[in-house]
Structure 1
Amino acid sequence: MLKSKMKWKFPKKINDITNLNSNKFSPLIKELLLQRGVSSDEEAEKFVSPDLNNLQSAELLADIETATERVHKAIALDEKILVYGDYDADGVSSTAIMIKTLQELGANCDYYIPNRFTEGYGPNEKAFREAYKHGCRLIITVDTGIASVHEAAIAKELGMDLIITDHHEPQEELPDAFAIIHPKCSHDYTFKELAGAGVAFKFAQSLLNDFPKQYLDYLVIGTIADLVPLIDENRILAYYGLKALTTSEKPGLIALKKVCGITEDVSEEDIGFSMAPRLNAVGRLQDADLAVQLLLTDDQDEADQMAETVHSINQKRQKIVSDIVKEAEEMAAPTEGQGVIVAAKEGWNQGVLGIVASNLVRKYDRPAIVLSIMPEEGVAKGSARSIPAFDLFSGCMKIRDVFTQFGGHAQAAGMTLPLDNLQRLMTELNSIINEQLSDEDFTQEIEVTKTIALPEINEALVEEISQLAPFGMGNPKPVFHIKALPADARKIGANKNHLKMQFKDNTKTLDGIGFGFGELYAHLSPKTDVSIVGELNINEWNGFRKVQMVMQDMKIDEMQLFDHRGAKKFDVMPYVSLSGEHAVVKQAAADSSAFPDNVHFVGYDTDNKHLSDVHNLFLYDLPSDLATLQALVQQLNPQNIHVCFQIDDSAFMKPFPSREDFKWLYAHLAKRKKIDIKKEAAMIMEAKAWTYDQIMFMANVFFDLDFVKIENDVMQLSSNPLKKDLSESAVYQERLKKAEIEKVLYYSTYDELKSWLFNCMDDRHTLEEELVNGL
């Protein structure tokens, strides 16, 4: 057995798909649509074929008309307008949309992105005062500002008008701004999940009095990068945005796609895993101006140079993240009952702490807060990420007074707090989490779309599923489950840290690739079905196209037998998990202290009643009889059995004398009266083609039955021996028993041994059923 790392959550089976009558959709697509809450042909058509005409009017956003009038007035008066953005991919995309829109309108405008390290997140008083000194009288925030109560008051004090466009969670007090354009502050605007770029795009639409399709390529980057739900309007905007980004002629986007190695149609995965991380990296390690300049430039040579610099910054970012993750894991591995991870250290780069926190969440299944300590200021600044079961924003708002600054979403947040509050943060948030969550909530879940059989998997299926793209939050890429016997499995990659399996069904094959799954190779046993869940895609290589499953998790439901018989060096540790109990049957247990506490050395003759239901049973020593082993297996009830037997002196492989052999030797002794075994053994061996072991064995059997006496290697007949059968000799029976044990446990085939051991377990389960039923 092999436990999955995540909880596999299957949807309720949908038997009735009659509400979707259109012949345009296959039964699978209908099932997937129903899982997504699409229950009519009209809704299905809208989902599969997004239409820009189904977008809500930008005018439904509160304050947008007031804000539009103010901007046009500023343009008419040639007032200087400052676009105040954020340093992540959504923020720089929003900034690019707004600057390009204002330039198109002929505005006197500039942009400002705060420095993450010297200014922190969001608007700040110093920046506003500097803007005023430089003649600015109107500030437009994009992807930020909804929590800037103090900064809005400063703007008003200075005589500057402030227009806030944002999508982050509004807090208890809203800023006193000239206008706030925010879906969640707009009663009439029913879709609340626009990204910052989406809100900026809507404002651009109002300012231009036209749909700004020329900025869809910017919009899609911010929308997908910020992980907003790709449903409703976001789905429509992302769908057309990907098409626009694929054909975009903007030099910066051409250069960015080039360094990302994107040569074909741009997908949501290209943005999420390649383009957005590079744009984010700039603001994480330095001033984010370079990212905005890359998006805005009209010069291709300049764009190519900037894109290369951005790519280099991202490589540096990856190295920094790797180093901090290692340090954070060493200092913050959670103990029992700990609901939240808090890691803090001086010198950590604040720009990558969100990524570090995400790594810790994935590894430990706990909300994680990672902070950089700034002793000169007496504060810690950083980021937090959560698990699906815990709303981080709501939880932290319950202890808002712990922080000097705080903002974010249910799953991600940024914060600053006094150093003296670190322990309080951990204690109070830990208490809130443990009060709200159960143990099961700390296990990652994976939503499995459905179980599918190998014959159903082909290129046409993958192409059919692509009708539901773009995939993302709220519209996840389908995850399928298959259970099958691998025809082949091997570790791949330079460090052999990936696992590749191949499944065959008649003429069809399916490759399963598990990145980072290399350690699971040791947990595969012959002729055992494995269950895997993952996404289907088409792997193109050297002109060949082949469907493959990118595995996300794996498990094995049945008890397994691992055959290590005869292996000179076998290490149990790759199979030993920190949870559960493991048993080792090995007399030479002097090195047991080198093993974790959950590894128990036991014997066939020891009292093992304290131990049962072990994960792994490692059998090094052969038992004295098969019944003893059977009893041990039934007592320990292992999920997996590892046979590690070694034999140096085999009874089974030695020739066993026949009854005729015994008769000849006895007759020879009767004739000779006595035999000096040392002197005459060679002659007998040559005459009968026997081994020395055969002669000594027969002599010991005769001695055991009192047929002979042996002194100083001289064997002679006993006087008046009783008539006995050879089977009455303990030596004879012990040799037979030892040979039978070796035959069953050591010289058997894998299938024979598996059948014998599993029958032991079947006997146990039969007995348990009888006891339960009172028999």
Structure 2
Amino acid sequence: MLKSKAKWNYIEKIQDNDNLHWMDDSLSLSPVIQELLLQRGITSEHAASKFLAPDLSDLHNPNMLLMIDKATNRVHQAIENQERILVFGDYDADGVSSTTVLLKALQELGADCNFYIPNRFTEGYGPNEKAFRNAYDEGYQLIITVDTGIAAVHEAEVANELGIDLIITDHHEIQAELPDCYAIIHPKCSPDYLFQELAGVGVAFKFAESLLGYFPKHLLEFTAIGTIADLVPLVNENRILAYYGLKALSATSNVGLKALKQVCKIEDQVTEEDVGFLIGPRINAVGRLQDADLAVHLLMTDSKEEAIEIAETIQQINQERQRIVTEIVNEAEEMLNGCEQQGVIIVAKEGWNEGVLGIVASKLVRKYDRPAIVLAKKSDKGIAKGSARSIPAFDLFQNCMQVRHLFHSFGGHAQAAGMTLQLEQVEVLQAALNELIFSQLTAEDFKQVIDISQSIPISEITEELIGEIERLAPFGMHNPKPLFHIQEQPTQARQIGSLKNHLKLQFKSNKAMLDAIGFGLGELFHYLTPHTAIQLVGELGINEWNGQRKPQMMIQDISINDWQLFDHRGKRTLDISPFINEESRQLAVGKEERTQYEGIDYKTYQDLLDDPEQLNSLFIIDMPNEIADLEQLIKNTKPNNIHVCYYVKDSTYLRAFPSREEFKWVYAFILRRKQLHADRDITVLIQSKGWTKDKLLFILDVFEELDFISNTDGIIQPNPQPMKKDLRSSSIYQQRLRQAEIEKVLYYSTYEELKSFFTRCAEYLGIPKEELSYGL
């Protein structure tokens, strides 16, 4: 039995009713896709058509954004008066793409403009007073923020003091006080705007559209990058912008994007996964380790040579970022012994690169299943600065806002945030957040949740179905890539990769075949047993290799609900460390006295029979003296996992059992000889008959027990008046029969025969009721 790492949440099937009979033949959709659409709240043919075929005409009018007209007029006035305009951006992929979009629009209008992105390390997040004063000194009269600024209350006051008009375009959460500036373009400040989840680049794109007076298709490729990389919901306008932006990215003529695609090894159509896992992280890496200006220059340049040079530099920066992240994660994990007592993980250390702490926090969340705050200490300034990531059940932004007084600065979303606080407040913050999270969540809430769209038989997993699923792309927040559940016995299982750290399974059902790959799940190979059904959850896709295409599942989680038999018989040395689990009750049982076996508790058969306890895993080290003892032990302990670990050095079963005629011959021989010398005559007898010494000694032991012979000081003589007895009345005879039967049943049986034996021991071994969960 193998428990899943996450909670499996089966999305409730939408039941057909009169209001949902909207699918008709014109859509030609399979039942699987129909259900996926219903799960997304799409309950009309019109909505389904719009979702499956996004249309640019369905984007909302930018004029519905509050104050956008005022901001547009101010920019046009600045261009007419030849005022200098500064685009103030952010250092992540959304900020870089936002800066690029607005900068290109302003250049197209002939504006005297430039951009500024603060240094993460020396200036921190968002607008700052020094940057504004420097802008004033350089003659800028208008500053436009993109993807930042909604919390810049003080900086807005500075701009007013300097006589600089400040236009804020942003999408981050609104805090208690809004900046007093010339204009704010923000969906959540615009009650008439019909979609409030635009990314920063989405807001910048809307502003660019308003400024240019037409729909700027040529800016969609940059808009897709920020929209996908910033993890905003990919529905409504964001879906349309991402859908067409990916098409534009695939056919881009922008030399910077082409160079970036080249270092990412993206050759064909660009997908949301390409942006999320290849393009976005490389753009982000620049701002994480140095000034983000380099990334903007890449997207703005017209020189192919410069683009290639910058892209290669960015590739090197990303590799360095990966190295630093690995180093910090390792150090953080060493600091987190006993972290299960914490509701919110907080780790802090001097010298950590604050640019990558968000990535580190994400990795800690995935490993420990709890929110994580990772801080870089700055002892010279008495502060700690860093990033946080959360779990779905805990709104990080709202809860941190309840202790806002502990932060010097704070901002973010429900699942991610950035912060600065005094060093002495770190422990206070830890205690405060622990109190908040434990008051809101149960232990079950901390587990990751996997939403499963449907259970599906292997026979239905075809290229055609996967092609239909791809029509739901681009996938992202609020439109996740569907996860499917299958239950089947694998026909093949193996570890792959140079470190054997990945798992590959193969399933066959009639003519259907499915490969399943679990990256990083190689250790689960040890937990698979023959003829055992496995439950998998994962994404469906197509594997292309050497011109062949076939369906494939990318595994996200695995569970086994049946009891399992692990067959380690006959191994002289056995490493059971992969199976040791401190969270479950495990026990080894054998004949001899000892306290532990390979790191787990140990009892003898008799001890465990006298004092039974319910177990998760039972390791059987020695075969019992009586099969009945093992049968009773299994019934008493009810293990979900049974490991047979015994090794037979001198097999009774494989020894030839003397026949009745052989017993008679030996007795007749002794009667004729009157007496035998044990040492001398037995050796001659063995050689003459070609028997083993064990065989002859066994016969003699049975005769002696039955008083057919006597053995005094090595002299064997027949009993002159023996009583007639059946050979089977000898306990020695019976013990040998029993030992041979034990070996036959428990050692020399096939895997299927041995599993049948244990299954017969107790009915509970079918499917333990206490393990039924997640609707299975």
Structures share fold, TM-score greater than 0.5: yes
* 2:136 is aligned with 1:135: no
Partner of 2:370: 366
The alignment's C-alpha RMSD in Å is 1.8
Residue type of the alignment partner of 1:173: E
Partner of 1:621: 622
Residue type of the alignment partner of 2:387: S
Deviation larger for 608-617 or 261-270? 608-617
Deviation larger for 484-493 or 659-668? 659-668
Q: For 1:172 and 1:94, how far apart are their aligned partners in 2?
A: 25
What are the Cα deviations for residues 682-719 of structure 1, in whole angstroms up to 9, with x where unaligned?
33234444221111101111111222211222211235
Q: How far 1:542 sits from its partner (Å)?
A: 2.0
* 2:41 is aligned with 1:37: yes
Partner of 1:712: 713
Q: For 2:559 and 2:571, how far apart are their aligned partners in 1?
A: 26
Q: For 1:144 and 1:669, how far apart are their aligned partners in 2?
A: 105
Task: Indicate how the Cα distance of structure 1 residues 570 and 435 shifts in structure 2: closer, same or farther if over 3 A, else same.
Answer: same
Deviation larger for 240-249 or 332-341? 332-341
Q: For 2:190 and 2:30, how far apart are their aligned partners in 1?
A: 39
Partner of 1:472: 476
Residue type of the alignment partner of 1:715: I
Q: Is the 8 A contact 1:581 1:600 kept in 2?
A: no
Residue type of the alignment partner of 1:737: R
Q: How far 1:764 sits from its partner (Å)?
A: 8.0
Partner of 1:721: 722
Partner of 1:638: 639
Residue type of the alignment partner of 2:323: K
Q: For 2:83 and 2:573, how far apart are their aligned partners in 1?
A: 79
What are the Cα deviations for residues 130-165 of structure 1, in whole angstroms up to 9, with x where unaligned?
101111111100000001111111111111111000
Q: For 2:206 and 2:768, how far apart are their aligned partners in 1?
A: 70
Q: For 2:148 and 2:369, how far apart are their aligned partners in 1?
A: 29
Structure 2 counterparts to residues 324-723 of structure 1, below 5 A: 324-586=328-590, 592=596, 595=599, 599-607=600-608, 612-723=613-724
TM-score by length of 2: 0.96
Partner of 1:772: none
What are the Cα deviations for residues 712-752 of structure 1, in whole angstroms up to 9, with x where unaligned?
22211235333322222111111111111111100111111
Q: Is the 8 A contact 1:277 1:314 kept in 2?
A: yes
SS of residue in 1 equivalent to 2:480: coil
Partner of 2:773: none
Task: Indicate how the Cα distance of structure 1 residues 486 and 192 shifts in structure 2: closer, same or farther if over 3 A, else same.
Answer: same
SS of residue in 2 equivalent to 1:486: coil
Q: For 1:350 and 1:384, how far apart are their aligned partners in 2?
A: 11
What are the Cα deviations for residues 417-460 of structure 1, in whole angstroms up to 9, with x where unaligned?
00000100111101100110011111111111111111111111
What are the Cα deviations for residues 212-263 of structure 1, in whole angstroms up to 9, with x where unaligned?
1110000000000000000011111111111111111111111111111011
TM-score by length of 1: 0.97
Partner of 1:148: 152
Partner of 2:319: 315
Q: How far 1:610 sits from its partner (Å)?
A: 6.2
* 2:758 is aligned with 1:757: yes
SS of residue in 2 equivalent to 1:551: strand
Aligned with 2:218 (options 214, 225, 237): 214
Deviation larger for 732-741 or 266-275? 732-741
Q: For 1:377 and 1:611, how far apart are their aligned partners in 2?
A: 61
Q: How far 1:666 sits from its partner (Å)?
A: 1.7
Deviation larger for 497-506 or 267-276? 497-506
Q: For 1:26 and 1:311, how far apart are their aligned partners in 2?
A: 42
Q: For 2:353 and 2:275, how far apart are their aligned partners in 1?
A: 24
Deviation larger for 388-397 or 582-591? 582-591
Aligned with 1:270 (options 256, 269, 274): 274
Q: For 1:280 and 1:610, how far apart are their aligned partners in 2?
A: 60
What are the Cα deviations for residues 389-444 of structure 1, in whole angstroms up to 9, with x where unaligned?
00000110010011000000000000000000010011110110011001111111
Q: How far 1:311 sits from its partner (Å)?
A: 0.6
Q: Is the 8 A contact 2:594 2:602 kept in 1?
A: no
Q: For 1:670 and 1:169, how far apart are their aligned partners in 2?
A: 105
Structure 2 counterparts to residues 178-189 of structure 1, below 5 A: 178-189=182-193
Q: How far 1:77 sits from its partner (Å)?
A: 0.9
Q: Is the 8 A contact 2:563 2:765 kept in 1?
A: no
Q: For 1:325 and 1:218, how far apart are their aligned partners in 2?
A: 31
Q: For 1:153 and 1:609, how far apart are their aligned partners in 2?
A: 80
Partner of 1:773: none
SS of residue in 1 equivalent to 2:184: strand
* 2:89 is aligned with 1:88: no
Deviation larger for 719-728 or 483-492? 719-728
Deviation larger for 608-617 or 338-347? 608-617
Task: Indicate how the Cα distance of structure 1 residues 647 and 233 shifts in structure 2: closer, same or farther if over 3 A, else same.
Answer: same
Q: How far 1:461 sits from its partner (Å)?
A: 1.0
Q: For 1:765 and 1:117, how far apart are their aligned partners in 2?
A: 60
* 2:740 is aligned with 1:736: no
What are the Cα deviations for residues 650-691 of structure 1, in whole angstroms up to 9, with x where unaligned?
111111112222222222222222222321223323444422
Partner of 2:252: 248
SS of residue in 2 equivalent to 1:605: helix
* 2:286 is aligned with 1:282: yes
Deviation larger for 711-720 or 131-140? 711-720
Q: For 1:21 and 1:567, how far apart are their aligned partners in 2?
A: 60
Q: How far 1:584 sits from its partner (Å)?
A: 1.1
Task: Indicate how the Cα distance of structure 1 residues 578 and 338 shifts in structure 2: closer, same or farther if over 3 A, else same.
Answer: same
Between Structure 1 and Structure 2, how many residues are aligned? 766
Q: How far 1:765 sits from its partner (Å)?
A: 8.4
Q: Is the 8 A contact 2:101 2:222 kept in 1?
A: yes
Q: Is the 8 A contact 1:334 1:364 kept in 2?
A: no
What are the Cα deviations for residues 250-302 of structure 1, in whole angstroms up to 9, with x where unaligned?
11111111111011010000000000000000000001000010011111111
